[in-house]
Structure 1
Amino acid sequence: MNENKKALILLNMGGPRDKDELEMFLRNMFNDKNIITVKSDILRSFIASMIVLSRKNSAWKNYEAIGGSSPINKLTEDLVDKLNKTFEDFEVFQVMRYTPPFAAKCVQQLKQKGIEEVILLPLYPQYSTTTTKSSVEDFMSVAKNDFKVRVIEPFYKNEKFNDKVTNDIISSVEDTKLYNLIFSAHGLPQKIVDAGDPYEKQVNEHVKILSEIFKNKEIEFESISLAYQSKVGPLKWLTPSLEDRLKELKDKNVLIYPIAFIVDNSETMFELHIEYEEIAKELGINEYKVVSCVNDSDEFINVIEELIQ
């Protein structure tokens, strides 16, 4: 056992591997006080149960359309494996918020290995209470004060990261001038933003940074815009919705980049690749393309090396 070894822990939301895990995923997500922000635990639990009952079967059909499980699991495992081969001073783990592997098991492993120093890397470029805060709080509630912990800040301003994102977008089409680039971000209820969540501000900043990089590289698009996906329920959510933005682009070519995700998941592989593509066809979009997340790419591993120095 290397006494000096530290742990790097990747934090993400998780995703179901089968139908039983889908119920677990939905139940845990809607029991999260950062997602359903009512003060009463009993009321939140009741709301979660109602949502699970109403959505489980229809949600499972979505997962069946992408092979019966969320791609987030295999892709994150691949990233962890590559990082463990790259780093000598760190042992790398993953902790998911709503499906295994959970924080409790990870903390147990860290203690067994005698690891005392931990770096937490939330796999979200921008900060939100619903993602970053929720995942960090979850880990810390289990870890107590048993480790020296450092949390990596949101990295949407990181140059190497943004180089990777812009290069992926540019190389996905032959002529960028023929495409309307939409940065699609996971939506949030407006009331969460109004309560002080910085996510919308940071996503807007990120779009500005990426647009400036395109300008500096002398790369032009027909248009560049931001839209929000994944709205559920009757509350007012961040606008414009991706569907509304697509409505403005009839007969045009559209290129989508999932700006709020690092690892492809059901929101990218089902919603963007299947659901919104069908909407785009119905709306008369000429060509519709989605760019993959950075996933376990060598360039993103270089980004992580820089972030944890």
Structure 2
Amino acid sequence: MQKNKKALVLLNMGGARNKAELKMFLTNMFNDKNILTMKSNLLRKLIATFIVTSRLDSAWKNYEKIGNESPINKLTEKLVQKANEKIEDFMTYQVMRYTPPFAKNVIEQMKKDEITEVILLPLYSQYSTTTTKSSLEDFIYFAKDNFKIQIIETFYKNDSFNECILDEIISKIQSPSEYNLIFSAHGLPQKIVDAGDPYEKQMNEHVKILSDKLSQKGINFKSINLAYQSKVGPLKWLEPSLENMLKNFKNENVLIYPIAFIVDNSETDFELDIEYREIAHEIGIKDYKVCKCVNDSDEFIEAIKDIIK
């Protein structure tokens, strides 16, 4: 047992390991008051049930194309293992919001491990009520007063983290001037942003930071863009959509970086690498490449050390 009773807890949304867990994921997500924001719990539950029933089979077909499981689980387990090996003075745990391991169970283990101090690091570098706030509220609700808690709400301005992103972007292509770089972020309904969610503002700031860093390194893409993926339903969502952005680049080359994600998941492996690749092919894009997230890289472990310092 470690002498120092500090914990680093990595928070994320989770991902399905099988069809039953996909149903669990969708049910928990659409019952989250930060996702469906109406005041009536009953109405939320009814809408959630309708969405899950209507979407489960088609959503599972997408998972079948990436090996019947979201990559987020194994990659996060590797990230936690590396963190426990390389980050001194902390025991590292993971907590997922919509699939196991859940906060309630991890907190019970942490109490058995005699943890007294906790740093919560949501694995979303920009803040949103739909991700960061939801994950933090969930952990704090079950933690009660068992720990002294510190929270890291954002880390998109952290230099070490941004260098990890740039390393991946630079490694993907030899001639940046021949490629259009698109930072693809998970979309949000416009009404959530209008209600004060800082996600869009921080996303724009993050793209500016990364663009400036590329320029300082003398790396000049043909263009640098921000677009939003994953829109569902009839509401107005953040724009431009990734699909519409891709239409600008017929007969050109495109490099995608999944700027909203830290660990690869169904949105990166299925949506970006399969679904939007097909769209790019139909549009007539010459070369379409997708970057990996920072995942469990050694460089990201070093960035975490800097972020929690």
TM-score bucket of the superposed structures, by smaller chain = over 0.9
1:234 CA displacement: 0.2
Aligned residue in 1 for 2:217: 217
Scaled by the length of structure 2, the TM-score of the pair is 0.99
Aligned residue in 2 for 1:197: 197
Q: Secondary structure at the match of 2:249?
A: coil
1:174 CA displacement: 1.1
Aligned residue in 1 for 2:102: 102
Runs of 4+ residues deviating >3 angstroms: none
Aligned residue in 1 for 2:252: 252
Matched ranges for 1:70-109 at <5 A: 70-109=70-109
Aligned residue in 2 for 1:230: 230
Residues 3 and 114 in structure 1, CA contact (< 8 A), matched pair in contact too: no
- Stretch of structure 1 that moved more, 276-285 or 158-167: 158-167
Aligned residue in 1 for 2:7: 7
1:113 CA displacement: 1.2
Q: How many residues align?
A: 309
Is residue 2:136 matched to residue 1:143? no
Tell me the amino acid that sits aligned with residue 150 of structure 1.
Q
Alpha-carbon RMSD across the aligned residues, in angstroms, is 0.7
CA distances 1:16-57 after superposition (whole Å, capped 9, x unpaired): 000000000000000000000010111101110000000000
Give the distance between the partners of 1:174 and 1:216, measured in 2 at CA. 17
Residues 4 and 90 in structure 2, CA contact (< 8 A), matched pair in contact too: no
Aligned residue in 1 for 2:288: 288
CA distances 1:157-187 after superposition (whole Å, capped 9, x unpaired): 1111111111210110111110000000000
Is residue 2:61 matched to residue 1:61? yes
1:294 CA displacement: 0.3
Q: Which runs of 5+ in 2 are unaligned?
A: none
Residues 3 and 115 in structure 1, CA contact (< 8 A), matched pair in contact too: no
Give the distance between the partners of 1:196 and 1:149, measured in 2 at CA. 25
1:145 CA displacement: 1.5
Aligned residue in 2 for 1:242: 242
Aligned residue in 1 for 2:187: 187
Residues 193 and 200 in structure 1, CA contact (< 8 A), matched pair in contact too: yes
Give the distance between the partners of 1:162 and 1:88, measured in 2 at CA. 23
1:87 CA displacement: 2.4
Scaled by the length of structure 1, the TM-score of the pair is 0.99
Give the distance between the partners of 2:79 and 2:113, measured in 1 at CA. 21
Residues 132 and 153 in structure 2, CA contact (< 8 A), matched pair in contact too: no
Q: Which runs of 5+ in 1 are unaligned?
A: none
Give the distance between the partners of 2:122 and 2:136, measured in 1 at CA. 8
